[in-house]
Structure 1
């Protein structure tokens, strides 16, 4: 479903620019957050395959960002990239929810290899995403229904449903869903259109409207 997307969370402007150039050159789509609050917002709202996370951030510490993401049900694989590299620091990072930890200064080839390994492990261990009436398979872009049937989805329908399913207890705004599932679009009305398509395929209560706030995953019919 397109190039892997990485969220780079780094407050050092030069290092952030270097990482962005490196990762884009390796074929990744890159988004940047320069402080902890922005990182938390992007992590909650965006569809990223990996988060590359610095610890010492303005506004909110990197590990606090990670803790809040995990408590909110966000399972995006995270590699902590930090100048704090002694064993106790690495243990703390892993205990707080990181899948990997790399100390600065780092070797570029090693960083890229670790990112590839994270992506492979995530693809192999991707959890089943429960949706109303069945299970979403993002690989085949289909919902395997509890009654044994199957519903095929378009790429955009699948992307939208995946976002809702990854945050089943959260209300996501139209703006957040637009950024996560339709990054190439700029009209929030596209979200409403694809919510309509999903309801038509999975039932009217598959996606719930929360008036004035946005949408959340609904219930089976």
Structure 2
């Protein structure tokens, strides 16, 4: 499942510890990097502060309901694709999850092959991860091409440049520490200065304002 630079990352938010452990093992065996938390508040914190390619969220969570969690993430500008798991199969419950901003909904008990197929569809969905658009900037993650009024002619990026820009574009208002960017864009490689190096490369290709330095903290997308 790796994209040539880093593994796709999933967040599992499930309070049933046995089911959570099963999901983590299942997704890890499929080649994903997986984090797991056990209530809605933890899920919100991770969703706001870390970068994931998709989230699997239980509907009936402690502290904060899964649908409420998705609504808050969307209200904060987080576009990470979400699959909601639930024991509730009524149409009204499915509609509530989708209206909150989830991309998909799967009723328990589910078949493992179907779950994996839905996750594969989620991480490659064009309106999820393949094309990102923010503030006059468009990144096609398949061709690694940047276009839009901020760059003029199309600009082709390397895999690592595209990975870094996509992390910044998915949460344009968020300040990312170097450690977070190492984990989410570069797979946690332990290479001193790699984040700064690729920020320099992006600025050279797309203009200095494309990435803003937040002194003492890290970087964020340069918003006009």
How does the TM-score come out when normalised to structure 1?
Answer: 0.82
Q: Relative to 1, partners in 2 of residues 1:111 and 1:135: Cα closer, same or farther, differing over 3 Å?
A: closer
Corresponding residue for residue 179 of structure 2? 175
- The answer to whether the 8 Å contact 1:145/1:151 transfers is no
Corresponding residue for residue 135 of structure 1? 138
* Structure 2 counterparts to residues 9-158 of structure 1, below 5 A: 9-122=13-126, 126-130=130-134, 134-144=137-147, 146=149, 148-158=152-162
- The answer to whether the 8 Å contact 2:161/2:202 transfers is yes
What is the Cα deviation at residue 137 of structure 1? 2.2
Q: Relative to 1, partners in 2 of residues 1:188 and 1:131: Cα closer, same or farther, differing over 3 Å?
A: farther
Corresponding residue for residue 190 of structure 1? 194
Answer with 141-150 or 101-110: which moved more: 141-150
Measure the CA separation in 2 of the matches of 1:124 and 1:86.
26
Measure the CA separation in 2 of the matches of 1:203 and 1:83.
49
Measure the CA separation in 2 of the matches of 1:120 and 1:202.
25
Measure the CA separation in 1 of the matches of 2:44 and 2:125.
23
| CA RMSD across the alignment | 2.8
- The answer to whether the 8 Å contact 2:81/2:128 transfers is no
Measure the CA separation in 1 of the matches of 2:51 and 2:199.
17
What is the Cα deviation at residue 188 of structure 1? 7.2
- The answer to whether the 8 Å contact 1:8/1:51 transfers is yes
Measure the CA separation in 1 of the matches of 2:223 and 2:99.
34
Q: Relative to 1, partners in 2 of residues 1:35 and 1:178: Cα closer, same or farther, differing over 3 Å?
A: farther
